[in-house]
Chains A and B, each alone.
Chain A
């Protein structure tokens, strides 16, 4: 029988879990033994208590952040993919537009966000726009590379068989681009969350659009450090879940691809 530690799922799931538990225990012990007050540095139990206590507010905030994140992610995926298709249609279009895509990418969103928030009246849409801007670049660049990374042998085979432009696109370019596109989606999903949180920080809006970043800001004004941590935990969990969803999607769609074979064979 295989020793437990050598089984893949044990290594992949149990090992990081043990590390996490170990860190939490050390953290808790440190806070308890050194009598560190929760408003300076809360112990894990303080954070958990705050999370439970503030759960309704925090969940509403989470819902608000998630709405912005998911909408921005969807917009980035759609607009980014369309842009990539536009880029591969002609070199001229790509050469004329690509520098601006890079400008979007390199300009720090924190610097642009105030401008967007002033220009776009509706808070929800201004937050979504900020998050979209930050999430779109990996989709554009990855999908463009993907659509171009066609096996030249297969391309000549298609041409030899008098394949139409549409057939080449549908049967060759899109499947070839899929791994790149999905890698772009994975990066972009994380960036959409970052974009949403950063935009909320800059906007600093409460009320109906109050997201997790607003909760963190409020908690910091009130020196409610455990609640800050609780909001942070929710953001992290959301990010991890998003990333896991994307990984799952990749595995579902890329059974044929080398990247899905790490544990196979």
Chain B
């Protein structure tokens, strides 16, 4: 099998809009010889909410880190707004990354944690404080600015982590299984809030998840990945109207979507086993 063959990637981009991210046969070989992902071609358009889903080892986190520029592709290219990564900041465009863990500074209170990216970028204190207030209000933690991380629940810590991403006013939000460790109730609430936020702020979001339900609820497009080698197995577009809420989650259409996506995921995990590395 020719790994360099780019997979066809239909995109929801309206004609003429500058895509947020383009992967051009980008792959990742780790130093230990493990292949993170086979050459992948993928285009993400402004305003899309793209979920990456797949069996473990399929490279969804690797793909996300390539998009975040936490990894350099071994071969191929990645373009952000049709340019190289070092042009991202100069054009006033920003990426924000939310990790699996909240990764907060335990010695600093909520407001200081959220202010961190602004402090690192040298934003004047007065402006930074005002933006922190807005970001905390958006994640409904306006009254917990002075709390220490250890005083918060897991869900609240994740909200702080999201506020820290939002405070930079990002154009592209990258999230690596952010709610995986939370109970279902907190996860559903955070999903709803995240969706409302990303819709309201016209964010482009790439979201790694294990959960079919979460992917269907949040995404405009789901990328189903398969392992050995990590690759895009299928794409699944979800053109349900926004805003989505609890009524969508309880609807028949939601159940049908979940069943279809589960089927694709199952096929992907079968394909992951049958293809030799």
Contacts and interface: CB of A to CB of B under 8 A. Distances in A.
Interface residues of A, number: 20
B105 A257 contact: no
Contact residues of B: prevailing secondary structure? loop
B101 A153 contact: yes
A157 B103 contact: yes
Contact of B106 (A158, A163, A167, A257): A257
B207 interface: no
Interface residues of B, number: 21
B178 to A, nearest CB: 12
B259 interface: no
A102 B237 CA distance: 62
A175 B120 contact: no
A161 interface: yes
Contacts of A257: 106-107
B120 A156 contact: no
B107 A158 contact: no
B275 interface: no
A157 B97 contact: yes
B245 interface: no
A255 B106 CA distance: 10
Interface of B: 68-70, 89, 95, 97, 99, 101, 103, 105-108, 116-117, 119-121, 148-150
Given A161-B117, A257-B106, 14 more contacts: A151-B103, A153-B101, A154-B103, A157-B99, A158-B120, A160-B95, A161-B121, A162-B89, A162-B120, A171-B105, A171-B119, A256-B106, A256-B107, A256-B150
12 contacts: A153-B99, A153-B101, A154-B103, A156-B99, A157-B116, A158-B120, A160-B68, A162-B89, A178-B107, A255-B148, A256-B148, A257-B106
Interface of A: 151, 153-154, 156-158, 160-163, 167, 171-172, 175, 178, 255-258, 261
